[in-house]
Amino acid sequence: MLERGVRRVRGITVATIPADSGELDGFGEGLHGEVVRPEDPNYDETRAIWNGMIDRQPALIVRAMGVSDVIAAVDAAREHDLRLAVCGGGHNIAGNAVCDDGLMLDLSAMRSVRVDPETKTARVEPGATLADVDLETQAFGLATPLGINSTTGVAGLTLGGGFGWLTRTYGMTVDNLRGVDIVTADGTLRHASETENADLFWGLRGGGGNFGVVTSFEFDLHEVGPEVLSGPVVYAGADAPDVLRHVRDFNEEAPEEAAVWIVLRQAPPLPFLPEDVHGDDVVIVVTFYAGDMEDGEDVLAPIREYGDPIADAVGPHQYAAFQQAFDPLLTEGARNYWKSHNFRALSDDAIDTAVEYAANLPSPQSEIFFAQLGGKMARVPSDATAYPHRDAEYVMNVHTRWEDPAMDDDCIPWAREFFDAMAPYTSGGAYVNFISEDAGEEARGYGDNYDRLVALKTKYDPDNLFRMNQNVEPEQR
């Protein structure tokens, strides 16, 4: 065997393979899928992920076509002491879908979605995106709570908790998960549900990718759409202090069918906005109502009738189309850096601080958004799933986004400074899928459930094979 290099990563010795070592030249024979190596013409395209800041070079990429390929890749990584990265949709902000020198397991070809309209369930493969799921489920007027960008991968979203427009009505994504098939670190395919490997199932619902490679998810579905009342109301940035307070007060009494989010940014060139406001500071109040359209008109009227908006694009929209409405603002390849806080409430001081920083965004594509939670997700006990933050009424994402690497030193420090300025008003927790850092914020993501996750990690992955994530380290043996 050729001598490998080693790295120290989070206190762990990680074996690496130089891209030209030839150590795994024979690997891939008998796989159903494709093995991509650095010399292959599609190597750069295959290793590229959503966040353009991430530029890593795996020694080989396994493009899996099925469970047997996943098992083979996991076995190879374990037997050769390789760093292993698992890529579903490739949207993870920290770039955990790709690694240097090791093995990247690309699941993007495994994207089947099978709907059973009688039982109102869907089986979803790990390479599927939100758009894939919405397309199939909406054919039957059904949906499950997912995110807000249709190119996001279902796997990573789910394993971190998952929330979106339907969360107040139907809970987190993990609250709608019935079971999974998963390849664990020993290469074994297991089923996990409330009745089979229940401890593992608990950990998979919010514990990230710490426990294995999920090859199939089964979700509960709900009757949604095909049309929903939704859309943005846009105000001038100068109105932000009053608008944010009004939305906060509205949300405190709003029914669970309603979700109203707030976005502070410069006006993008969206078709419903006048050209003369493009680039101006604005407040975008995004509304969604999951119930009867006429009821929604009455419920959302206080939002639409408030103040002097620049534009009101609220109306009946196809649910699947609304799920894609903000995709043009989140295309792949740009540089992205996020920071995140949870809030039990938005105080006046928190609002004033956010408005102050929003007036000095570091790039035209950057934004601050507050996603409203609560409702059904809040009635689930904090220890019922690994996702612990059931008291969060809002998740804030500080989303800095830019194209030119020369702007790194403007955008990243700004995000960190604003994050620190908001800290006194928060609950102390964070949504694990919004954490950009490679290490150091795990405790904020997993909260009081962290020790239980450590015990599970020690049981199912004692050597920390699955460490390209917001990592839960196993107990030292």
Q: Kindly state whether residue 468 falls inside one of the protein's structural domains.
A: no
* Rounded-to-10 torsion of CA 107, 108, 109, 114: 90
Q: What is the mean pLDDT of the chain?
A: 92
Confidence label for 476 from pLDDT (cuts 50, 70 and 90): confident
Contact criterion met (CB below 8 Å) for 169 and 224: no
pLDDT digits (tens, 9 = 90+) for 32-78: 999 999 999 999 999 999 999 999 999 999 999 999 999 999 999 99
How many domains are contained in the chain? 3
pLDDT higher than 70, residue 7: no
Q: Kindly state whether residue 276 falls inside one of the protein's structural domains.
A: yes
pLDDT higher than 50, residue 19: no
pLDDT higher than 80, residue 348: yes
| CA–CA separation, 191 and 259 (whole Å) | 34
CATH number (domain holding residue 207)? 3.30.465.10
Q: Kindly state whether residue 475 falls inside one of the protein's structural domains.
A: no
Q: Are residues 283 and 381 in the same domain?
A: yes
pLDDT higher than 90, residue 132: yes
Q: Domain residues for 337?
A: 228-434
Q: Are residues 199 and 240 in the same domain?
A: no
Q: Are residues 214 and 232 in the same domain?
A: no
Q: Are residues 320 and 453 in the same domain?
A: no
Q: Are residues 429 and 343 in the same domain?
A: yes
Q: Are residues 87 and 192 in the same domain?
A: no
Q: Are residues 30 and 137 in the same domain?
A: no
Q: Kindly state whether residue 395 falls inside one of the protein's structural domains.
A: yes
| CA–CA separation, 176 and 146 (whole Å) | 10
pTM score over 0.85: yes
- Give the 3-state secondary structure of residue 42: coil
pLDDT higher than 60, residue 12: no
Q: Are residues 263 and 380 in the same domain?
A: yes
pLDDT digits (tens, 9 = 90+) for 82-101: 999 999 999 999 999 999 99
Q: Are residues 58 and 33 in the same domain?
A: yes
Mean pLDDT of 453-467: 97
The domain boundary, picked from 85, 106, 127, lies at 106
Q: Kindly state whether residue 467 falls inside one of the protein's structural domains.
A: no
pLDDT higher than 90, residue 5: no
The domain boundary, picked from 50, 82, 106, lies at 106
pLDDT digits (tens, 9 = 90+) for 214-265: 999 999 999 998 999 999 999 999 999 999 999 999 999 999 999 999 999 9
Q: Kindly state whether residue 316 falls inside one of the protein's structural domains.
A: yes
Q: Are residues 139 and 179 in the same domain?
A: yes
CATH number (domain holding residue 390)? 3.40.462.20
Q: Kindly state whether residue 85 falls inside one of the protein's structural domains.
A: yes
Tell me what percent of the residues of the chain surpass a pLDDT of 90: 88
pLDDT attached to residue 284: 97
Q: Kindly state whether residue 440 falls inside one of the protein's structural domains.
A: no
Contact criterion met (CB below 8 Å) for 102 and 17: yes
Q: Are residues 84 and 166 in the same domain?
A: no
Q: Are residues 357 and 251 in the same domain?
A: yes
